[in-house]
Amino acid sequence: MTRRKAAIAAAGTLAAGALTAGLISVPNAFADGTGTHAQNTGRHGSAEARGVHKAAARAARAGVDWKDCPADWGLKDGVECGWVTVPLDYAKPDGKKIKLAVDRARSTGGKGKRQGSLVYNPGGPGGSGLAFPNRIPDKNPLWAKAATAYDFVGFDPRGVGHSAPISCAEPQEWVKAPKADPVPDSEADKRAQRKLAKEYADGCKERSGGLLAQMTTPNTARDLDVIRAALGDKKLNYLGVSYGTYLGGVYAELFPGHIRRMITDSVVNPSPKKIWYDVNLDQDIAFQTRWDDWKKWVAKHDDVYGIGSTPEKIEAKWRELRSTAKKDPIGGVVGPSELLGFFQSAPYYDSAWAEVASVWAAYLKGDEKPLVEAAGPDMADVEGNKASENSNAVYNAVECNDAQWPRDWKTWDRDSTRLHEKYPFLTWSNAWMNYPCAVWPLGQHKPLNIHAKTSHPVLMIQATRDAATPYPGGVELHKRLKGSRLITEKGAGSHGITNLENDCINKRVDAYLLKGTVDAKDVTCSPHAEPQPVKSAAKASAKAKAAAVPARTP
């Protein structure tokens, strides 16, 4: 997912992935083989259940007309693209339709080894999964075994990218910088941020039309089942990261008998009491913990970076940098908000540790260009800015619609003020990122209470020090999906760990996908290798820009 340089605020919540397998009968959405779906239908709306059944049957008949991908989609040779039609409103399956963009790379093992499609969601809400199939033509070594058995399939969820994209603000205006410091100095600062959030929420309604009210995780899960049918797969093989794990959990609740393989990586806490307000409060604490981990690492490599020899000295330098940027934005565009948008990639991903430190070190040595390029907006990148604004719009639409948020400002002010005292790195930024949900112009739903026995055990993978999706989330989903298995990466904190090299995890992912096997009990793995320092600021800046924070993943 692409980092949103100019987000209203700079946190991530999760901020977070077939082909035709011959003539396969479409499973009845009401008969899932677990004995629970009739109950689910009653709980989750019989009209929508009938609607998704009808839409899936249509999609199975239509299939996907695979063609060469448009050149401007940025996909590799060997990846094919197509469309799947879904209802705008599943309660009205014969009403207005939208088209979802899907793509695939064919499995490498031939007919004798092919097991179906592996569908991917990278998180968000608001992330595009279309880059996932690139892992096959790129010959990604971590996925080489899985590629022998599965076509890799990505899609743009409803409202995202090429799938009827929504918008809440004019993109070029939205990315302009510098933005106000998210940490308020006064009540007037808080009123100004609340005003911006209200304008943004109203903009969502004005610019996104009838699709806005249908932007929910349950509807995206229904879309996922229609995609499964269009691909010709009787059951779903799915990999969800970050918010994609919550999407997977909702799918498991709605379609427990449709799961063949499901991996949830870096798990959102699915408790209805947590979705979504408390999930973000938990992030504030976890981001501070991981920020502290990064400072220790930078201090350990002070001979390379020269930022500070202790975490305390590095924290002092960080506050000095924020203060300097607030008084006089760096390069005219990088203030505290933009700094946070860039520096938060370090708590997100170990892969960003060296890059962020190198860019900062270059600045301290008098070269501000890498920092301005990494943290400031690129006004010439019109398409990139449009995608960034779209991602942010989807994030707000889905989370604001999914759950009932506190509507009174006193609750937000009390909680953010209290948390900021001990966890200042992200708290206020996260509050403003989500505050449109306090003034959301549409009705809000109650989150699903996920409790399911799935047709095959779900495999969950979670790092104990993950900032974006704190560890208790994995434990909670594990409790709620009967028969699931949890792999814990102890002492690690990178977000999205199935794409990292750790043999203890990688071999279990391969065994699960290829053979369907899980361990007899939950497993704890040692952490993956610690990042190594990078001395080149130019190289670091380029890598940081290419791989920084995802599009808003819980």
Which residues, other chains included, contact 249 with Cβ-Cβ below 8 Å and sequence gap of 6+? 264, 268, 270, 450, 477, 480, 481
Instruction: Judge whether 38 lies within some domain.
Output: no
Instruction: Judge whether 158 lies within some domain.
Output: yes
For 508: left if phi > 0, alpha if psi spans -120 to 50, otherwise beta; the answer is alpha
**Tens digits of residue pLDDT in 244-259:** 999 999 999 999 999 9
**Tens digits of residue pLDDT in 501-525:** 999 999 999 999 999 999 999 999 9
**Residue 111: its pLDDT value, please?**
82
Same domain, 267 and 126: yes
Instruction: Judge whether 17 lies within some domain.
Output: no
Instruction: Judge whether 231 lies within some domain.
Output: yes
- For residue 1, pLDDT beyond 50: no
Mean pLDDT over residues 539-549, rounded?
A: 49
Q: Which domain holds residue 95?
A: 69-163+215-275+447-521
CB 112 within 8 A of CB 81: no
Phi then psi dihedrals of residue 377, to 5 deg: -75, 155
pLDDT band at 323 (very low <50, low <70, confident <90, very high): very high
Catalytic residue selected from 32, 466, 494, 541:
466
Q: Which of 181, 160, 215 is CA-nearest to residue 10?
A: 181
pLDDT band at 534 (very low <50, low <70, confident <90, very high): confident
**Residue 192: its pLDDT value, please?**
98
Instruction: Judge whether 308 lies within some domain.
Output: yes
- For residue 33, pLDDT beyond 90: no
Percentage of residues in the chain having pLDDT higher than 90: 87
Mean pLDDT over residues 273-302, rounded?
A: 98
- The alpha carbon torsion through 463, 468, 469, 470 (nearest 10 deg) reads 70
Rounded to whole angstroms, how far apart are CA atoms 282 and 197?
A: 21
Catalytic residue selected from 53, 258, 301, 495:
495
Task: Judge whether 242 counts as a catalytic residue.
Answer: yes
Same domain, 225 and 286: no
Q: Which CATH number belongs to the domain containing residue 484 in this structure?
A: 3.40.50.1820
Phi then psi dihedrals of residue 125, to 5 deg: -55, 140
pLDDT band at 45 (very low <50, low <70, confident <90, very high): low
Query: Which one has a higher pLDDT value, 473 or 546?
Result: 473
pLDDT band at 543 (very low <50, low <70, confident <90, very high): low
Instruction: Kindly tell me the sign of the dihedral angle through the C-alpha atoms of 6, 401, 132, 494.
Output: positive
Instruction: Judge whether 528 lies within some domain.
Output: no
Catalytic residue selected from 167, 208, 242, 271:
242
Same domain, 227 and 89: yes
Instruction: Judge whether 482 lies within some domain.
Output: yes
**Residue 424: its pLDDT value, please?**
98
Pairing mode of beta strands 236-242, 150-155:
unpaired
CB 251 within 8 A of CB 1: no
**Residue 538: its pLDDT value, please?**
57
pLDDT band at 40 (very low <50, low <70, confident <90, very high): very low
Instruction: Judge whether 33 lies within some domain.
Output: no
Model-level pTM greater than 0.85? yes
Which residues, other chains included, contact 380 with Cβ-Cβ below 8 Å and sequence gap of 6+? none
Task: Judge whether 233 counts as a catalytic residue.
Answer: no
CB burial class (10 A; 0-12, 13-18, 19+) of residue 22?
exposed
- For residue 260, pLDDT beyond 90: yes
Phi then psi dihedrals of residue 104, to 5 deg: -150, 155
Same domain, 158 and 73: yes
**Residue 211: its pLDDT value, please?**
98
Mean pLDDT over residues 342-358, rounded?
A: 96
Same domain, 227 and 341: no
- For residue 315, pLDDT beyond 50: yes
For the chain, the domain total comes to 2
Rounded to whole angstroms, how far apart are CA atoms 496 and 116?
A: 23
Same domain, 319 and 454: no
- For residue 550, pLDDT beyond 60: no
Same domain, 340 and 296: yes
Q: For the chain, what is the mean pLDDT?
A: 90
**Residue 540: its pLDDT value, please?**
55
Same domain, 103 and 244: yes
Same domain, 295 and 183: yes
Same domain, 324 and 463: no
Token pair listed for 440 = 């959301």
**Residue 110: its pLDDT value, please?**
84
**Tens digits of residue pLDDT in 174-228:** 999 999 999 999 999 999 999 999 999 999 999 999 999 999 999 999 999 999 9
Pairing mode of beta strands 452-453, 481-482:
parallel
Same domain, 219 and 293: no
Same domain, 342 and 418: yes
Rounded to whole angstroms, how far apart are CA atoms 106 and 214?
A: 32
